[in-house]
Structures are given as structure tokens and as C-alpha cells.
Amino acid sequence: MKPAQFEYHAPATLDAAIALLARHKGEARPLAGGQSLLPMMNFRVVTPAAIVDLNRIPGLAYIRAEGGTVRIGAMTRHRQVEFSPVIAEKLPLLAEAIRLVAHLPIRTRGTMGGSLAHADPAAELPMVLQALEGEVVARGPGGERTIKAADFLRGMLTTSLAADEILTEVRFPATPPRARCAVEEFSRRRGDFAIAAVAAVIERDGNRCVKARLATAGVGPASIRLRDAEAILERDGLGDDAVDAAAAKAAATVEPQSDQQGSAEYRRHLTRVLAARAVRRARTVQ
């Protein structure tokens, strides 16, 4: 199929792009990498009246470590993240997860901001945003605002971005040196969307778990933090009994949906298995 008719705009400044979105009153869509938007347009899942191409706007692609924060421009391509020494050193969870994103051509074109703004529940980056307690920066006609990970994802393909706002930057706190991370994902083929995935960040002091952060992909309408499972690890430690209890709690917490990829109960089972694997791998990584 071909997309419905639309206007095409390629502004040279961020302010011009925001003005175009505002002018179309919710009927325009920003274009970053286009790896999700264009297929949806071709199948007429979405039929925007206008496309606002962000690719000619300078200054939106960068990776910077400043103090204890890593800042990533919204137009930074996945491949830039994949091979960045800053990401490898400061954000090992993101470095691992980015390699699971789709296939090489998509990672070459896809962007950090585009993936997060699209908010596909089976995508890896929303999960990473949750597990690392990151935040995004959005800019609109009223100025700039920062949105915490917990407030950003609203549901299936839905975020708290307004129709006339553009995601401009993603910020992550640098992972402490003593923290260890792991991503466990199940998909039919490598590069496919996750049927289920769990990301784990563990800070330990001996057998004691100082801090645990677990997040999901693929098992609900949006990525979520598994806070009850985290609490079990922080209270009871990282022994096998505690890990099994946390994984069981993770499975009980999620609200999976059934589709052609798998039933809700299958996804619940995968959540338990993958949560246990992720925590066990994170606790043993040197």
C-alpha cells in the first residue's frame, strides 16, 4: 500500500519544526529515523496531514557525559550509541540492549528520540529508560520541560508528549561502577520485537542488594518497572530463594496481552523466567 496524501516539511530549525506542529493542531507527525512511522503510514495505520522532517535540524545528534549524567541527542542513531565508548563505559545496560534493537539497516537509521517517542511496548529503549531511571527533554511552544521515565510512558504507543512538542534529548544517570546489568529477551528471531524481555540493574554489597531496578518490554501495553520484585531483592538479598521470589512477583505484577506471538499466560511465564535469568546474570557479572 501507499500512504495517504500528506504535506512534507523539512525545517532547518527546531523552532520552525515546533511551529509547524502547532499549526497543524495534532494532525502532523515529526519524522526522525522513520523506521516505525513510514511503515505505519504505508499501511494507513496513521494518516497524518503533514510530516515534519527533523533530519535537517543541526545539533540534535550527540552523546555527552557531563558530571554524573549522560546526555544523548534525540536524533542520535542507534549505531552511534552501539559503538560509543562513552555508552560502553557509563551505560552498560544501554550498550547491551541497543544491540538487540531490530536489524543493522534499522539501527543505522533509527534514532533514540524516535524510538522513545513511538513508545512501542515491545521495544528495548523504553525498557532501558525505565530501568535506568532516565528522563527525556521535550520542547514545545511553551518552552522546554523535563519528563521523568515514570511519567513519560502512558500506554500502547502513547507518551506524555503534547502534539506540538518534540523530544530533543534523553538523559541517563551514569551507572555506578559497582552496579551490574543484564538484559534477557525472548523473540522468535534475533532482531524481531521482544515477545518478552526484562532488564536488570543490580547494586550489591556482598550478598546484600543495595539497589535493584527491573523493567519489562513486550508483556503489556507499556514498559513498566517491577517495583514489588525490586523490593524483594533489596529486602532479602540476592540468594536463589530471593531471586525466585522476585521473579514470581514480577510474573504476578505484569498485565500481559495475548496476540499472534503468544498468549498472556505464556508472556507471564516468560517474565518469571527472564527476570530470574537477568538478576542471576547481573549478580554474577564481574
Neighbouring residues of 248: CB distance < 8 A, sequence distance ≥ 6: 272
Domain ranges of the chain: 7-53, 63-173, 179-284
The CATH number assigned to the domain with range 63-173 reads 3.30.465.10
Q: What is the pLDDT of residue 286?
A: 56
Domain 7-53 has CATH 3.30.70.260: no
- Alpha-carbon distance 47 to 44, whole Å? 6
- Alpha-carbon distance 209 to 85, whole Å? 28
pLDDT tens across 116-156, in order?
A: 999 999 999 999 999 999 999 999 999 999 999 999 999 99
pLDDT tens across 189-199, in order?
A: 888 889 999 99
| pLDDT mean over 236-257 | 97
Instruction: Answer whether 63-173 and 179-284 agree in fold.
Output: no
Domain 179-284 has CATH 3.30.390.50: yes
Other beta carbons within 10 angstroms of residue 61's beta carbon come to 17
